[in-house]
Each structure stands twice: as structure tokens, then as C-alpha cells.
Structure 1
Amino acid sequence: MSLRENVGHHNLDPGKAKHRSRIWTDVDLGAEGKAQGYLWLPLGTHDTSGEETGLYSCEGIPVVSIKNGEGPRVLLMAGNHGNEYEGQVMLMKLIRTLQPEDVRGQIIFLPAANTPAVRAGRRTSPLDGGNLNRLFPGDPMGGPTSMIAHMIESEILPGVEYAFDFHSGGDKGDYLPCAVIARSDDPARFSRSLELLKVFGMPTSMIIDHSTGGDGALIGACRRTGVYHLSTELGGGGAVSAPALRMAEKGLARLLEHTGVLSRAIAVEPPPPTRLIRRVPARDYVYVQSAEAGLFEPYVGLGDEVQANQITGMMHFPTAPWKEPEPVLAPVDGIVLCRRVPARSGLGDCVFVLGRDWAPSSL
């Protein structure tokens, strides 16, 4: 059975069979009830000489569907980057909690979307170096990560109305916990997306023009397929942030209720106020400009406000301990949204991502 036949939302034109995903599943994602199993990503196998044998092994990408009659259809996704853990933990817990009687419509879970990267605990896939959030719309005949991107955009997204994708800072970055939406030129769509952001109710919320991955990110795929999208940045640093996870769990409960996909209330708290901010352009992040690598000592932290030309930290040089440290300056005013985790830094390393309060006239 093809994946598209299992999802059951769309029929593929036989004349376009070459565009069908090569990823397959024996899980009927269109069936009523709770179904769980794997999407099977075919991989070539090699003999000891390194030559392809013509046989295949498969990577199993975990998938869960909870379906109960007609209603909204929602995709919940984590593990887009394999070393971002809060979303993976949150979705695994929710999979074990929700039962078909709790749902009105369908929720599809991809808690380890780029499974090779998740298995390796890496941002990108060890199979091909692929960054899933840069490879949409993907290619069914491409590398493993491109095949996953193609499957999500061509097979999953056309069957849902909402896609919520949970990110964090990975092992190199630590984010001020926030939810994220992309601005739309359609006022009605943007208004609905803003409502999702406020319902999710993180203390800080970010509005961006586009992902750093541009149209190659899931945001681009959702724009192309007309799906409402919300993502997050939930801590990072290679750990699971307990406070960020708890806030996100409460926010997701509210969000699912808001979409109408739940048959019973599971949220326990109303959304608190959220501070709307926008990320500054990448050229205005805070970068190390020391020619020599060294150790970065930060002077500011997440949520702090900085001024243009403010010293945000110092670069120290252990191999020349008598050398005076060099200051790292903020190029613009802003709020610290993300910090670099490794102290070891060098020329061009971003140590802080900045944002500013959002206003309609600022975009």
C-alpha cells in the first residue's frame, strides 16, 4: 500500500506516479481509532567493498494517528532537528495520554520526523548530512532527508489544516522559550495565526517574516499547502528544559482545544499574556569578531535588553593569558532571544540572537 492510499485524503493521478513518495507504511492512517507504527524509509545497503548490493534496508520513522470521525485535522511534529528534545518528550507523553474518545477529527504525530538525526542526537541526518528544515519540498528520488521532506509535504500536509512543529536551541543554542508564527500578507490568515500564538500563551511570542531556512523550511511547505503553522523554540543546550516543557504542554493543550480537534477539555489554565516580538535580521545578531579563537564570557542573559554598542561579553584567550580580553559589542538595540552555549568561540560565531517588540508598522 502506498502512503497516500493509507492517509486516505487524496488520490494520486496515475500519470504522475513518478512523484509518489517512496516511503511506505503498513499503518492505515485513514482508519478510525488509534494506529501506531512506522513509515518505512528505504535505504540502499552495501557490501564490504562499499558497492550497493541492490538490496534495501529501511529506517522506521515512528507515526501515530488518533482518528475519531469528522473534524479538524492536525499534524504534531518534533525531531525536525534530532538534537532538540523538549518537543520530542512532549509529544511522546501526549501519544500515551490521548485516546480516540478524546479526539474529534484526527491528530497525526511525527515525534521523530528526521529519525536518523534523532537516533544520532544530531541536528542533521548522519545518513546524508541533511537538514530536514532546509529541504522542503523534497524529492522522492533524492537522499534520505529529501525523501522525508517530500513525504511530509506531498503526503501528510495536504490532509491536515494545522501543523505544529516543536523546536528548541539544540546543543549549541539556548532560547528564551517562545512560540513562533510567520507573517502572512493575507490579513485574515495572519489574524488567525496571531490567535494561535496568543492561545498557546508562552510568556514571549515571536513573529517572523520567514524561517532562516526560507521556503525550504516547514513554514514554506505549509504556505504552499495552505496549512496553518506554529512552531516553538523551547530552551535547548542539549538538555530538556523543565520550565519550558511545562509551559509548552499547557500551551499545546489550549491549542488543541482551540482548533476543535479535542472532544473534551484538557487545558487546566487560561493563556497568560504574551509579549510579541520580532527577530532582527541575521546581520544584526551579535557575532564574535576576534581573529583568534577563545572563551566567551557573557555579560547578559536571555530576556535582557541591550543597547547598540553595549559590551555583551568578553573574549578571553587561554593560550595568551596575558593578552587583554576583547569586547563583543551589540550592533543594535534589542532583547536577547538566544545565546550560544559553548564557551569556546571564534570569528563569526553568533553569541546572541536579538529581537524587538513587535508592532504592525514594524513589519
Structure 2
Amino acid sequence: MADTLITSEINFEADGKQSGYLRVPHSVDRSAYGWLPVPITVIRNGQGPTLVLSAGVHGDEYEGQIAVSELANNLQAREIRGRLILLPMLNLPAAQAGRRVSPIDEGNLNRLYPGDPKGTPTEMIAHYHEEVILPLADYAVELHSGGSSLIYPATLLRGPGHTPEEEAGLQTLTAAFDLPYAWVFTGGGGTKSTARTAMGAANRKGVVNVMAELGGGNAVTPEILAQTRRGLRRILHALGMLPDYVPDAPRDTRALHAKGLIYAYEPGLFEPLKEIGEPVAEGEIVASIHHPETPGRPPEKVASPFDGMVLAKRAMAPVRRGDAIYQIAAPVSEDD
């Protein structure tokens, strides 16, 4: 067992269904020997792969939290082959507060891996996830959204396969999730990854893993939640872990490369002139930044430095200099 101060109420090697908490030590005025209860469910039955499903890495991203907790509530051990580890609110303090970062230590969990076993609560969670949970896994799926500030369509994110076996696994997860878009990274990943993210942690541990961006705007989108529920069960079936599930026909996925972000350079109110999925030409005006506090001041016109399509859009009207207002992507070509 890795050096950690976190203790688990769950026996990862036991058959059956167990639900409980990862106890993250947290000493405060009201509770000298207290702990933060990170919820976890483990379902194990017979031989098969281990899949880790995590959500709530950022606390203001909700579709994943709902979908993972539903699986924890509804799946029974007799339905499963292998081991399923479910973490619906991995950064529990952030999730309880509905914030991207933890209100306890301002920790952004997805920027703190590999963490610190004796650090802040968020650093301890990152370390436990990377050093205790991910080494148990063959596959991992991490569920995000645009959070409070951005909105994404249902989009899978995956890196390159560094071996034929990894590429085959990535293709299986991508095809099974069957989301409308797949954002494909052209580099990085692998066991030598230095990324401070959960995806980087999974890569370092040799786990075949994908991520997803699922809505955002500090809300739940019913259509995207339905796509998420469907996709997770399709993944379980494709890995041989949910044998009695009958998947419907695939809807196909459009593969994309991200080209870049468009930023506000003046504070004001953001008026979007492009919607998600719409085409964008380089130099095209995609937004106006308005200044109602200054009579007679005209709005700034924001031009796109890229051509492609809108993959993500800012959810909030108020902007400051440096706020991302769009992300632009382009279809993967046959030469990529």
C-alpha cells in the first residue's frame, strides 16, 4: 500500500457490492480528529477487468456526478463481471460547494497530481487516486464538463495510443461511449507523462483512459446526461463487464483536434455571435464585448485567429481580460 494518511472503508479485493467513504484526515476547530468523507462504491464479481469511473474532480461539473452515483445506486454485483470502482465526488469539498476548486485549500484537483500524501486535503486526494486507486485499474473514464464558465457538447477526450494494445483499448472506449465529438490529442500521454492531471496520473500508471466534457454552465443538460448514462453502460458492455446489457446502434463520433482558445482582451459583457458546432473562419467576428458603464463607448469586436468550428463557448456574460470565450476545433483529416 502506498504511503498515505487516507483510509478506506472499502476492501478493494472483496467480492460483492460495498459502499462507504475514503476518509481524508481534516483537523478543524469543531473536530480535532475529523475526516472528509469522499464517497466510493466498489462492485466486484468474478474475473474481468477493473474500470475506475470518476467525477466531481471539479465540483461545479454535474452530469458525471449524477451518472456515476446512479451506477453506484443501481448496479448489483450479479450484473457485473470484474471490478467497478465508482467515485462520483472525488474532490468532495469542491463538489459540496459547487465550485471548481476546494473551499478548504483552494486546490484544483486536476492540477495537483501526483499530489502529496502529507499535503493539503486536495493534494492527499490526488496522491491517493494516483498511487492507490489507479494502480488497481485496467481502464479509467473521467467525467468533466465546462463547469461554471464554459459549455461543451458531449465530447470525449483521448490521447494517442503508444502501443497497439493501448490504441485498441482507446478505440474500444471511444466507440462504446459514442459521444457526438471526440477531441483527439496528437501528443503527450504515455507512462512518462508529466501532466498534473488525472489523465496524466492514469497514463503514468499504464491505465487505458479517456476523459469527457459533458455540458457545463453550472447546470445539468438532460440530453447530455442521457448521452452520459447511455455511454457508460455501453462502455461496461464493450469491456465485457455488463454482459446482459444490449447496446443500441452506434450514432457515430466526429473526431476533432483543438486549434486554440479565443480570449477577451477588455472587461465588459460578452455577446456571443457564434454557437457551439457552428463554423468559424479565420478573421471572422465571433463576439462583441459591451461596455454599458461608459456612455457612448462602442463594443469591441472579437475576431477569431483560427478557422474551424466552435467546440466550447463561455457561459457567463461578464468577462475580464484573459477570460476564455470560445474554444475552436477542426475535424481530424485523413493525414492526421
Report the TM-score when normalising by structure 1.
Answer: 0.87
Aligned partner letter, 2:288: M
CA deviation profile, 1:247-279 (whole Å, cap 9, x unmatched) = 111111111111111232153x12211100011
Task: State whether residues 287 and 350 of structure 1, in contact with CA within 8 Å, keep that contact through their aligned partners in structure 2.
Answer: yes
> Structure 1 residue 287 and structure 2 residue 287: aligned?
no
Normalized per residue, the structure richer in helix is 1
**Could you say which residue in structure 1 is the equivalent of 2:120?**
143
Task: State whether residues 88 and 111 of structure 1, in contact with CA within 8 Å, keep that contact through their aligned partners in structure 2.
Answer: yes
Task: State whether residues 233 and 242 of structure 2, in contact with CA within 8 Å, keep that contact through their aligned partners in structure 1.
Answer: no
Task: State whether residues 49 and 83 of structure 2, in contact with CA within 8 Å, keep that contact through their aligned partners in structure 1.
Answer: yes
CA deviation profile, 1:24-70 (whole Å, cap 9, x unmatched) = 023222211110011100012248xxxxx9x3210001010111112
**Could you say which residue in structure 2 is the equivalent of 1:89?**
66
Task: State whether residues 164 and 230 of structure 1, in contact with CA within 8 Å, keep that contact through their aligned partners in structure 2.
Answer: yes
Task: State whether residues 70 and 104 of structure 1, in contact with CA within 8 Å, keep that contact through their aligned partners in structure 2.
Answer: yes
**Could you say which residue in structure 2 is the equivalent of 1:200?**
177
Find the residue that maps to 2:122 and give its secondary structure.
Answer: helix
The CA deviation at 1:321 is: 3.4
> Structure 1 residue 114 and structure 2 residue 88: aligned?
no
Find the residue that maps to 2:233 and give its secondary structure.
Answer: helix
1:33 aligned to which of 7, 16, 32: 16
> Structure 1 residue 351 and structure 2 residue 325: aligned?
yes
Aligned partner letter, 1:86: E
1:332 aligned to which of 287, 302, 306: 306
1:318 aligned to which of 280, 292, 297: 292
The Cα RMSD (Å) is 1.8
Find the residue that maps to 2:237 and give its secondary structure.
Answer: helix
In 1, the alpha carbon distance for the partners of 2:123 and 2:237 equals: 33
In 1, the alpha carbon distance for the partners of 2:329 and 2:95 equals: 29
What is the number of equivalent residue pairs in this alignment?
332
In 2, the alpha carbon distance for the partners of 1:187 and 1:71 equals: 21
Aligned partner letter, 2:226: R
**Could you say which residue in structure 2 is the equivalent of 1:237?**
217
Aligned partner letter, 1:69: G
Q: Name structure 2 gaps, 5 residues minimum.
A: none
Task: State whether residues 217 and 315 of structure 2, in contact with CA within 8 Å, keep that contact through their aligned partners in structure 1.
Answer: yes
In 2, the alpha carbon distance for the partners of 1:191 and 1:321 equals: 59
Find the residue that maps to 1:79 and give its secondary structure.
Answer: coil
**Could you say which residue in structure 2 is the equivalent of 1:257?**
237
CA deviation profile, 1:329-358 (whole Å, cap 9, x unmatched) = 100102111111111112221100111111
**Could you say which residue in structure 1 is the equivalent of 2:160?**
183
Query: After the TM superposition, which of the residue ranges 200-209 and 31-40 deviates more from structure 2?
Result: 200-209
In 2, the alpha carbon distance for the partners of 1:109 and 1:360 equals: 37
Aligned partner letter, 1:286: I
Find the residue that maps to 1:313 and give its secondary structure.
Answer: strand
Aligned partner letter, 1:274: T
In 2, the alpha carbon distance for the partners of 1:231 and 1:255 equals: 13
Task: State whether residues 278 and 358 of structure 1, in contact with CA within 8 Å, keep that contact through their aligned partners in structure 2.
Answer: yes
Task: State whether residues 23 and 41 of structure 1, in contact with CA within 8 Å, keep that contact through their aligned partners in structure 2.
Answer: yes
Aligned partner letter, 2:243: S
In 1, the alpha carbon distance for the partners of 2:194 and 2:328 equals: 19
Name which one, 1 or 2, has greater alpha-carbon Rg. 1
Report the TM-score when normalising by structure 2.
Answer: 0.94
In 1, the alpha carbon distance for the partners of 2:203 and 2:317 equals: 37
> Structure 1 residue 164 and structure 2 residue 141: aligned?
yes
The CA deviation at 1:210 is: 5.1
Task: State whether residues 134 and 207 of structure 2, in contact with CA within 8 Å, keep that contact through their aligned partners in structure 1.
Answer: yes
Q: Name structure 1 gaps, 5 residues minimum.
A: 1-11, 13-18, 48-52
Instruction: Mark the CA change 1:185 to 1:93 in structure 2 (over 3 Å): closer, same or farther.
Output: same
2:257 aligned to which of 271, 274, 278: 278
Give percent identity, aligned residues only: 36
In 2, the alpha carbon distance for the partners of 1:247 and 1:214 equals: 31
